[in-house]
């Protein structure tokens, strides 16, 4: 297990991972299978997953919204953290990647908690809003970066007061701090962090875990 942060010394990351992070066999097997993919960097780190589990348990989360599933490691971690009556709406566009996820969700016995919706995530969240979905306790945004701001606004409508919205990759390997880098993804991530920081609807902290997580608590 190797660390995924560009901002913390690798020896420190290895210490954190070996001394404090605990995975179930299903989590470990899924992480290891995904690590052989060319785009394995899309998978969150085990330390980040454990941090998210802690947040969910701290606020007593029962309903969780995930925007961007990939091979399902974060979904699996959160399904394991939620109580038996916990429910997840998981949004992704890929049948290929989520087929891997389904295998491990089934092996871990959490499939019944997960409502996987294969469609563009903006369509799914807009449908949840229009259908008057029961409020979520926590949402995790880890999909196409250009739409991060739109996902943030949608999650503000879907998450209950006191609930959490997490946005992944907000440090973007440090590119957001380099004013000479202005591609669409970098600009979108930079903009959503600045917007949330000045948003009176939320309390915000940016935590340099893995590639950076922006945590917004809805007031």
* 100 found inside a domain: yes
- Token pair recorded at residue 64: 């969780």
Number of Cβ within a 10 Å radius of residue 36: 7
* 114 found inside a domain: yes
Q: What is the pLDDT of residues 99-109, one digit of tens each?
A: 999 999 999 99
- Say if pTM beats, i.e. exceeds, 0.85: yes
Pick from 142, 76, 131, 81: nearest CA to 104 = 76
What pLDDT is recorded for position 174? Answer: 96
* 5 found inside a domain: no
> Are the C-beta atoms of residues 166 and 218 closer than 8 Å to each other?
no
* 208 found inside a domain: yes
* CATH number assigned to the domain comprising residue 131: 3.40.50.150
Q: What is the pLDDT of residues 125-148, one digit of tens each?
A: 999 999 999 999 999 999 999 999
- Token pair recorded at residue 203: 């309390």
Which residues are within 8 A (CB) of 67 and not within 5 positions of it... i.e. 6 or more apart?
A: 91, 121, 125, 139, 140, 141, 142, 143, 151, 155
CA 209 – CA 191 distance, rounded (Å): 19
Sorting pLDDT into bands at 50, 70 and 90, what band is 7? Answer: confident
Helix (H) / strand (E) containing 100: helix 95-107
* 175 found inside a domain: yes
Domain count, the chain: 1
| CA geometry: angle 172, 151, 113, nearest 5 deg | 100
Sheet holding 114-118, edge to edge: 114-118, 87-92, 63-67, 136-141, 159-168, 213-218, 202-207
* 4 found inside a domain: no
CA 174 – CA 170 distance, rounded (Å): 9
What pLDDT is recorded for position 3? Answer: 86
Domain encompassing residue 47: 10-218
* 57 found inside a domain: yes
Q: What is the pLDDT of residues 10-56, one digit of tens each?
A: 999 999 999 999 999 999 999 999 999 999 999 999 999 999 999 99
Whether the per-residue pLDDT at 1 is higher than 80: the answer is no
């Amino acid at each position: 297990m190797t660390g995924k942060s560009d901002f913390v010394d690798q020896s420190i990351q290895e210490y954190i991972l070996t001394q404090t992070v605990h995975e179930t066999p299903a989590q470990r097997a899924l992480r290891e299978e995904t690590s052989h993919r060319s785009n394995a960097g899309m998978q969150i780190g085990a330390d980040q997953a454990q941090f998210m589990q802690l947040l969910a348990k701290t606020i007593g989360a029962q309903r969780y919204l995930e925007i961007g599933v990939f091979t399902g490691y974060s979904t699996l971690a959160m399904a394991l953290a939620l109580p038996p009556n916990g429910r997840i709406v998981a949004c992704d566009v890929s049948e290929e990647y989520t087929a891997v996820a389904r295998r491990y969700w089934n092996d871990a016995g959490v499939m019944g908690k997960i409502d996987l919706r294969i469609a563009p995530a903006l369509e799914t969240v807009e449908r949840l809003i229009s259908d008057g979905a029961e409020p979520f306790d926590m949402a995790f945004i880890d999909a196409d970066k250009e739409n991060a701001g739109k996902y943030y606004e949608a999650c503000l409508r879907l998450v209950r007061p006191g609930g959490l919205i997490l946005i992944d990759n907000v440090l973007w390997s440090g590119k957001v701090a380099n004013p000479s880098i202005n591609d669409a993804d970098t600009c979108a991530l930079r903009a959503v962090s600045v917007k949330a920081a000045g948003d009176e609807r939320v309390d915000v902290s940016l935590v340099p875990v893995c590639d950076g997580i922006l945590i917004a608590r809805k007031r």
